[in-house]
Amino acid sequence: MSIEYGSDEPSGLFGKSGVGFFDHMLNSFAVHSGARISLEVSGDLYVDCHHTIEDVGIVLGKLLHEIVQKRGKITRYGCSYIPMDEALARAVIDVSGRSYLVFDYEPKAPMIGTYDAQMTKEFFRAVAFNMGATLHISLLYGQNDHHAVEAIFKAFAHSLKDALQPIDGAILSAKGVL
Protein backbone atom coordinates (compact mmCIF):
# COMPACT_ATOMS: atom_id res chain seq x y z
CA MET A 1 0.00 0.00 0.00
CA SER A 2 1.16 3.52 -0.72
CA ILE A 3 -0.37 6.97 -0.40
CA GLU A 4 0.76 10.23 -1.92
CA TYR A 5 -0.50 13.78 -1.81
CA GLY A 6 0.26 16.47 -4.36
CA SER A 7 0.88 14.07 -7.23
CA ASP A 8 0.23 15.12 -10.82
CA GLU A 9 -1.68 11.85 -11.13
CA PRO A 10 -5.42 11.81 -10.37
CA SER A 11 -6.49 11.11 -6.80
CA GLY A 12 -8.44 7.98 -5.92
CA LEU A 13 -7.99 4.32 -5.06
CA PHE A 14 -5.95 2.16 -7.39
CA GLY A 15 -6.26 -1.48 -6.43
CA LYS A 16 -8.78 -3.55 -4.52
CA SER A 17 -9.15 -4.92 -1.01
CA GLY A 18 -11.62 -7.62 -2.02
CA VAL A 19 -14.43 -5.92 -0.06
CA GLY A 20 -16.44 -3.87 -2.56
CA PHE A 21 -18.04 -1.36 -0.21
CA PHE A 22 -14.74 -0.80 1.60
CA ASP A 23 -13.06 -0.08 -1.74
CA HIS A 24 -15.83 2.46 -2.42
CA MET A 25 -15.08 4.11 0.96
CA LEU A 26 -11.29 4.14 0.39
CA ASN A 27 -11.83 5.70 -3.03
CA SER A 28 -14.14 8.35 -1.53
CA PHE A 29 -11.54 9.06 1.17
CA ALA A 30 -8.75 9.36 -1.42
CA VAL A 31 -10.70 11.63 -3.76
CA HIS A 32 -11.95 13.90 -0.97
CA SER A 33 -8.57 14.17 0.76
CA GLY A 34 -6.68 14.68 -2.51
CA ALA A 35 -4.68 11.46 -2.12
CA ARG A 36 -3.68 8.75 -4.51
CA ILE A 37 -3.80 5.34 -2.81
CA SER A 38 -2.25 2.28 -4.40
CA LEU A 39 -3.49 -0.87 -2.72
CA GLU A 40 -2.64 -4.53 -3.01
CA VAL A 41 -4.22 -6.76 -0.39
CA SER A 42 -4.00 -10.46 0.25
CA GLY A 43 -5.96 -11.47 3.29
CA ASP A 44 -8.24 -14.03 4.86
CA LEU A 45 -11.52 -12.92 3.33
CA TYR A 46 -12.65 -16.55 3.41
CA VAL A 47 -13.05 -15.97 7.19
CA ASP A 48 -14.53 -12.45 7.05
CA CYS A 49 -13.44 -8.89 6.29
CA HIS A 50 -12.17 -8.02 9.79
CA HIS A 51 -8.42 -8.54 9.36
CA THR A 52 -8.34 -7.05 5.88
CA ILE A 53 -10.05 -3.81 6.94
CA GLU A 54 -8.13 -3.51 10.20
CA ASP A 55 -4.79 -4.17 8.47
CA VAL A 56 -5.50 -1.54 5.81
CA GLY A 57 -6.28 0.91 8.65
CA ILE A 58 -2.99 0.07 10.39
CA VAL A 59 -0.94 0.55 7.23
CA LEU A 60 -2.82 3.73 6.24
CA GLY A 61 -2.24 5.15 9.73
CA LYS A 62 1.49 4.41 9.54
CA LEU A 63 1.75 5.96 6.08
CA LEU A 64 -0.09 9.08 7.25
CA HIS A 65 2.28 9.29 10.22
CA GLU A 66 5.22 9.29 7.79
CA ILE A 67 3.59 12.07 5.77
CA VAL A 68 3.14 14.16 8.92
CA GLN A 69 6.80 13.64 9.85
CA LYS A 70 7.96 14.72 6.37
CA ARG A 71 5.71 17.79 6.26
CA GLY A 72 6.88 19.18 9.59
CA LYS A 73 4.83 22.25 10.48
CA ILE A 74 1.19 21.60 9.70
CA THR A 75 -2.14 23.20 10.58
CA ARG A 76 -2.61 20.25 12.96
CA TYR A 77 -6.37 20.59 13.43
CA GLY A 78 -9.19 19.85 11.04
CA CYS A 79 -12.97 19.71 11.30
CA SER A 80 -15.54 18.79 8.71
CA TYR A 81 -19.27 18.19 8.49
CA ILE A 82 -20.43 16.16 5.50
CA PRO A 83 -24.06 15.52 4.51
CA MET A 84 -24.91 12.44 2.50
CA ASP A 85 -28.61 12.51 1.68
CA GLU A 86 -30.37 12.07 5.07
CA ALA A 87 -27.12 11.46 7.01
CA LEU A 88 -24.81 14.06 8.56
CA ALA A 89 -21.36 13.16 9.86
CA ARG A 90 -18.69 15.17 11.66
CA ALA A 91 -14.99 14.40 11.93
CA VAL A 92 -12.57 16.43 14.04
CA ILE A 93 -8.85 15.64 14.12
CA ASP A 94 -5.79 16.78 16.06
CA VAL A 95 -2.58 15.48 14.48
CA SER A 96 -0.67 15.80 17.74
CA GLY A 97 1.18 12.52 18.17
CA ARG A 98 -1.35 11.51 20.83
CA SER A 99 -3.57 8.65 19.72
CA TYR A 100 -7.21 8.61 20.73
CA LEU A 101 -10.53 7.77 19.12
CA VAL A 102 -14.02 8.88 20.09
CA PHE A 103 -16.47 7.19 17.74
CA ASP A 104 -20.21 7.80 17.87
CA TYR A 105 -21.95 5.68 15.26
CA GLU A 106 -23.99 2.54 15.73
CA PRO A 107 -24.86 0.76 12.49
CA LYS A 108 -28.50 -0.07 11.97
CA ALA A 109 -27.74 -3.15 9.83
CA PRO A 110 -24.92 -5.63 10.37
CA MET A 111 -23.73 -5.67 6.75
CA ILE A 112 -23.39 -3.32 3.78
CA GLY A 113 -22.80 -5.80 0.97
CA THR A 114 -19.84 -7.92 2.18
CA TYR A 115 -18.68 -5.10 4.49
CA ASP A 116 -19.26 -5.64 8.21
CA ALA A 117 -20.58 -2.24 9.35
CA GLN A 118 -18.94 -2.70 12.78
CA MET A 119 -15.58 -2.52 11.02
CA THR A 120 -15.99 1.21 10.45
CA LYS A 121 -14.98 1.87 14.06
CA GLU A 122 -12.16 -0.69 13.93
CA PHE A 123 -10.76 0.90 10.76
CA PHE A 124 -10.69 4.39 12.27
CA ARG A 125 -9.22 3.09 15.54
CA ALA A 126 -6.39 1.51 13.56
CA VAL A 127 -5.82 4.71 11.57
CA ALA A 128 -5.86 7.03 14.62
CA PHE A 129 -3.60 4.89 16.77
CA ASN A 130 -1.05 4.22 14.04
CA MET A 131 -1.07 7.80 12.79
CA GLY A 132 -0.72 9.35 16.22
CA ALA A 133 -3.87 11.45 15.98
CA THR A 134 -6.80 12.27 18.19
CA LEU A 135 -9.90 11.64 16.13
CA HIS A 136 -13.52 12.35 17.04
CA ILE A 137 -16.11 10.98 14.63
CA SER A 138 -19.86 11.29 15.04
CA LEU A 139 -22.83 10.43 12.92
CA LEU A 140 -25.14 13.24 13.99
CA TYR A 141 -28.10 11.57 12.32
CA GLY A 142 -29.01 9.28 9.46
CA GLN A 143 -30.98 6.15 8.64
CA ASN A 144 -29.17 4.52 5.73
CA ASP A 145 -25.89 2.85 6.74
CA HIS A 146 -24.38 3.27 3.27
CA HIS A 147 -24.96 7.02 3.48
CA ALA A 148 -23.82 7.18 7.12
CA VAL A 149 -20.51 5.39 6.55
CA GLU A 150 -19.81 7.30 3.35
CA ALA A 151 -20.44 10.61 5.13
CA ILE A 152 -18.04 9.49 7.91
CA PHE A 153 -15.24 8.61 5.46
CA LYS A 154 -15.69 11.88 3.55
CA ALA A 155 -15.78 13.96 6.75
CA PHE A 156 -12.54 12.29 7.86
CA ALA A 157 -10.98 13.00 4.45
CA HIS A 158 -11.81 16.70 4.58
CA SER A 159 -10.73 17.16 8.20
CA LEU A 160 -7.43 15.37 7.50
CA LYS A 161 -6.83 17.43 4.36
CA ASP A 162 -7.22 20.63 6.42
CA ALA A 163 -5.01 19.36 9.26
CA LEU A 164 -2.16 18.43 6.91
CA GLN A 165 -1.89 21.88 5.34
CA PRO A 166 1.60 23.33 5.85
CA ILE A 167 2.02 26.49 7.91
CA ASP A 168 4.74 29.07 8.34
CA GLY A 169 6.04 30.00 11.75
CA ALA A 170 6.13 28.00 14.94
CA ILE A 171 4.66 24.57 15.54
CA LEU A 172 1.10 24.91 16.85
CA SER A 173 1.85 23.83 20.39
CA ALA A 174 2.51 25.79 23.58
CA LYS A 175 5.24 23.20 24.32
CA GLY A 176 6.92 23.85 20.96
CA VAL A 177 6.64 20.19 19.88
CA LEU A 178 3.82 17.88 18.93
Return the pLDDT at 95: 96
Cα 125 from Cα 117, distance rounded (Å) = 14
pLDDT under 70: residue ranges of the chain: 170-178
Return the pLDDT at 71: 87
- By the 10 Å C-beta count (0-12 exposed, 13-18 middle, 19+ buried), 83 is classed as middle
Return the pLDDT at 178: 61
Return the pLDDT at 43: 83
- By the 10 Å C-beta count (0-12 exposed, 13-18 middle, 19+ buried), 145 is classed as buried
Q: Is the dihedral of CA 138, 142, 143, 149 positive or negative?
A: negative
Q: Where are the domains of the chain?
A: 2-163
Architecture of domain 2-163: 2-Layer Sandwich (3.30)
**Number of Cβ atoms within 10 Å of the Cβ of 58:** 18
Return the pLDDT at 174: 58
Q: Is the dihedral of CA 87, 116, 31, 131 positive or negative?
A: positive
Measured in degrees and rounded to the nearest 5, phi and psi for residue 150 equal -65, -40
